[in-house]
């Protein structure tokens, strides 16, 4: 389950794939599951497009820039189509754009949204079969399966295969293997993408998805349209995966979901169902697991029981990412965030009353339609009031299908950029002050790597701060180990220290 597993049984003629991931941790972890699935199907992962038979992009469409990057990458590599490579688009852009991708990038053969990943093996088989039938050696160019009403095992709609003759690109010859296959489940699926073949890239800390999709429909956000409706795994399956990871030597787990605290245990036996806080605590109590993180929390569903769990279970990290988006109740209403500034601050107060100091981080959107100078000033004031340890701030980007698309995007880009700069400059000052407070304190870090050029080790604290530290030559802290470090200096985004020997 770590590194790039290789299925040795397939020999020299093994099919190869290259996978590039754009976007958030959810996408990174989805890619780990896709890699594991493909390897199980006999593919071998390679590091460059040049060496791959199958080229996949796991895409993000959260902001326009992210989406553009995907299409730029596709157009950079279209030259490889002539070499017989197969291109596939996975993830949010795939779900959002659907078959329109075939018009914009005609050399793409596979389009698959995240709600359909569990069908990937089936889709790959159909694609391979269809390409074989479409090859110049094949006696006939057959339509493999173009009936959308056909159903796969378990009653789920089967992926649609469209052969060259049925696409608008009749200009391309059949020998170009222009077979197209789509997995575009609607947002009504109840299934999660669970697989035992996850190819985790880090051998010490790993992700576990506990909930997929989102039902919140914030006015600006594509996620409910691209990732489908909210659906949770059973606590039993999450805990089994956590135990399995612990057995493999993992010591840190991050529970993932667009909205982890709206987790609803889908366990069949109601008496065994766990709330999110109970699941969090249970993962923190798995023998061998030393750190548990979770991402992302929605303020509306953030209960006091989460803070109580952090208080009670030492393995739960003292860090909460609680995106606020705006400090103005008026803007929160327009964004359909379902809480007010006061309610958000109430949750902050719960965290500030915790036994351990909890580090708080957030996301902010500037320039949402209708945001006035005074709304923006309220957001700046909130930064001061909360004292965040990190802020991820974004210029509002109008997204397809979202309710806010109907609102006039009247704030010019230059003004959005100005607000972003002001906000980040203010936050930098706040962080400089906050990080200084750690000087002289002792922190436990998980060692992530060694920076040879700087003669330092890179560590991460429980409150999710980077702590770069030096160690005497006689010591050589290993990646994945835990080490005590005394903080000797600070910067706005990291700490400096020395190993305690
Ligand atoms: N589920 C999380 C929540 O409710 O806070 C956020 C998930 S979203 C993938 C990550 C962040 O992207 C959001 O918190 C928001 O700040 C930002 N974001 C989402 N849609 C955006 C848009 N249309 N324009 C700018 N930023 C956006
Ligand atoms: Fe998007 Fe809102 Fe869902 Fe977060 S809670 S993923 S911002 S719709």
Q: What's the pTM? A: 0.89
Is the confidence at residue 160, as pLDDT, over 60?
Answer: no
Instruction: Give the ligand whose atoms come closest to the C-alpha of residue 321.
Output: 1
From 60, 66, 95, 216, mutation site for ligand 2 pocket: most ligand atoms within 8 A of C-beta: 216
Considering only CA atoms, which residue is closest to atom 9 of ligand 1? Answer: 62
Peptide bond into 296 cis (omega under 30): yes
Which residue, among 20, 17, 39, has the nearest Cα to 28 in the 3D structure?
Answer: 20
Give 90 Cα–ligand 1 centroid separation in angstroms. 20
446-487 pLDDT tens trace: 999 999 999 999 999 999 999 999 999 899 999 999 999 999
Give 48 Cα–ligand 1 centroid separation in angstroms. 31
Ligand 2 atom with least separation from CA of 325: 7
Considering only CA atoms, which residue is closest to atom 4 of ligand 2? Answer: 258
CA 303, 307, 311: angle at the middle one, nearest 5?
Answer: 155
Give 331 Cα–ligand 2 centroid separation in angstroms. 15
Helix (H) or strand (E) holding 117: none
Ligand 1 atom with least separation from CA of 363: 16
404-414 pLDDT tens trace: 999 998 899 99
Is the confidence at residue 168, as pLDDT, over 80?
Answer: no
Is the confidence at residue 233, as pLDDT, over 50?
Answer: yes
58-96 pLDDT tens trace: 999 999 888 888 889 888 878 887 788 899 999 999 999
Lowest mean pLDDT among 41-50, 158-167, 307-316, 463-472: 158-167
282-338 pLDDT tens trace: 999 999 999 999 999 999 999 999 999 999 999 999 999 999 999 999 999 999 999
Instruction: Give the ligand whose atoms come closest to the C-alpha of residue 92.
Output: 1
CA dist., res. 30 & res. 39, Å (int) = 14
Per-residue DSSP letter, 238: H
* pLDDT category of residue 116 using cuts at 50, 70 and 90: confident
Is the confidence at residue 380, as pLDDT, over 50?
Answer: yes
Which residue, among 84, 75, 31, has the nearest Cα to 56 in the 3D structure?
Answer: 31
Is the confidence at residue 164, as pLDDT, over 50?
Answer: no
User: Which residues have C-beta atoms less than 6 Å from ligand 2?
Assistant: 214, 216-218, 221, 223-224, 258-259, 298
Is the confidence at residue 149, as pLDDT, over 50?
Answer: no
Q: How far is CA 168 from CA 46, 82, 136, 163, in A?
A: 32, 19, 21, 10
For residue 485, count other CB atoms closer than 10 A to its CB. Answer: 26
CA dist., res. 142 & res. 226, Å (int) = 32
Is the confidence at residue 130, as pLDDT, over 90?
Answer: no
What pLDDT does residue 286 have? 98
* pLDDT category of residue 128 using cuts at 50, 70 and 90: confident
235-284 pLDDT tens trace: 999 999 999 999 999 999 999 999 999 999 988 889 999 999 999 999 99
Give 212 Cα–ligand 1 centroid separation in angstroms. 15
* Strand arrangement, sheet containing 15-21: 43-45, 15-21, 54-59, 86-91, 108-112, 180-183, 160-162
Lowest mean pLDDT among 24-28, 393-397, 478-482: 24-28
Ligand 1 atom with least separation from CA of 220: 23
Is the confidence at residue 497, as pLDDT, over 70?
Answer: yes
Give 221 Cα–ligand 2 centroid separation in angstroms. 6
């Amino acid at each position: 389950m770590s590194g790039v597993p290789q299925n040795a049984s397939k020999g020299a003629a093994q099919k190869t794939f290259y996978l590039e991931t754009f976007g958030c941790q959810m996408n990174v972890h989805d890619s780990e599951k896709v890699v594991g699935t493909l390897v199980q199907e006999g593919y071998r992962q390679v590091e460059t497009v040049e060496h791959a038979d199958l080229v996949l992009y796991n895409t993000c469409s959260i902001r326009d820039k992210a989406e553009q990057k995907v299409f730029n990458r596709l157009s950079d590599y279209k030259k490889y189509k002539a070499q017989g490579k197969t291109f596939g688009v996975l993830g949010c852009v795939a779900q959002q754009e659907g078959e329109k991708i075939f018009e914009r990038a005609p050399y793409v053969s596979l389009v698959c949204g995240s709600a359909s990943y569990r069908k990937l093996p089936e889709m790959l088989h159909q694609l391979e079969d269809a390409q074989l039938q479409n090859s110049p050696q094949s006696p006939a160019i057959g339509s493999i399966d173009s009936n959308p009403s056909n159903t796969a095992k378990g009653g789920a709609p089967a992926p649609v295969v469209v052969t060259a003759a049925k696409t608008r690109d009749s200009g391309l010859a059949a020998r170009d293997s222009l077979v197209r296959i789509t997995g575009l489940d609607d947002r009504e699926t109840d299934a999660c993408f669970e697989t035992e073949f996850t190819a985790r890239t880090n051998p010490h800390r790993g992700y576990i998805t506990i909930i997929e999709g989102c039902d919140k429909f914030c006015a600006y956000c594509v996620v409910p349209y691209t990732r489908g409706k909210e659906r949770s795994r059973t606590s039993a399956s999450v805990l089994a995966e956590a135990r399995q990871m612990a057995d493999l030597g993992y010591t840190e787990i991050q529970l993932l979901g667009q909205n982890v605290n709206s987790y609803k245990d889908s366990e069949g036996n109601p008496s065994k169902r766990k709330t999110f806080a109970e699941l969090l605590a249970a993962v923190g109590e798995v023998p061998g697991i030393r750190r548990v993180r979770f991402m992302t929390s929605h303020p509306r569903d953030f209960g006091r029981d989460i803070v109580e769990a952090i208080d009670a279970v030492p393995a739960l990290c003292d860090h909460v990412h609680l995106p606020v988006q705006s400090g103005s109740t008026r803007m929160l209403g327009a964004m359909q965030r379902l809480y007010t500034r006061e309610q958000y601050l109430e949750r902050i107060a719960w965290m500030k009353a915790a036994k351990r100091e909890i580090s708080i981080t957030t996301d902010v959107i500037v320039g949402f339609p209708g945001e006035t100078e005074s709304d923006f000033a309220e957001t700046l004031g909130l930064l001061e009031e909360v004292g965040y340890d990190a802020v991820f701030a974004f210029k509002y980007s109008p997204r397809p299908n979202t309710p806010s698309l109907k609102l006039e995007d009247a704030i010019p880009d230059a003004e959005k950029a100005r607000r972003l700069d002001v906000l980040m400059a203010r936050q930098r000052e706040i962080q400089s002050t906050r990080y200084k407070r750690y000087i002289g304190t002792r922190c436990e870090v998980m060692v992530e790597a060694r920076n040879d050029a700087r003669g330092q080790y890179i560590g991460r604290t429980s409150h999710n701060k980077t702590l770069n530290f030096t160690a005497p030559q006689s010591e050589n802290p290993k990646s994945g180990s835990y080490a005590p470090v005394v903080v000797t200096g600070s910067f706005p985004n990291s700490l400096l220290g020395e190993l305690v020997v």
